[in-house]
Amino acid sequence: MERSKFHVKKGDTVKVLAGKEKGKTGKILKVNHKKDTVIVEKINFIKRHARPGGKTRQGGIIEREGPLNVTNVNIVCPRCNDAVRIKKIVLEDKNTARACTACGEILDR
């Protein structure tokens, strides 16, 4: 099974483009390639009701970040300071890197 390629990866700063959290920015904590989703820090909180489990886990309402579809986020360029599309470029040493389409800033270092 081939893994799909995304324009974002763990650690990127992204801006939400659609949904109830539209306009907010955060850092990607996790990428799920099978479900085409990302989990962004402090964005899209969901509540789960949990029973106490053994001696360690306490019961109650647990809040945590929920998944967002990868198509609803865009990378924030550090130079433009805005959500931008990216392109793949080939560097001098024949490696590829992601770059901002607006200003040309290389995002992978």
Query: pLDDT tens, 95-109?
Result: 999 999 999 999 986
Q: CA–CA separation, 104 vs 41, rounded Å?
A: 27
Among left, alpha and beta (phi > 0; psi -120 to 50; other), residue 29 is: alpha
pLDDT band of 57, cuts 50, 70, 90: confident
Query: pLDDT tens, 36-54?
Result: 999 999 999 999 999 998 8
Q: Residue 5: what pLDDT?
A: 83
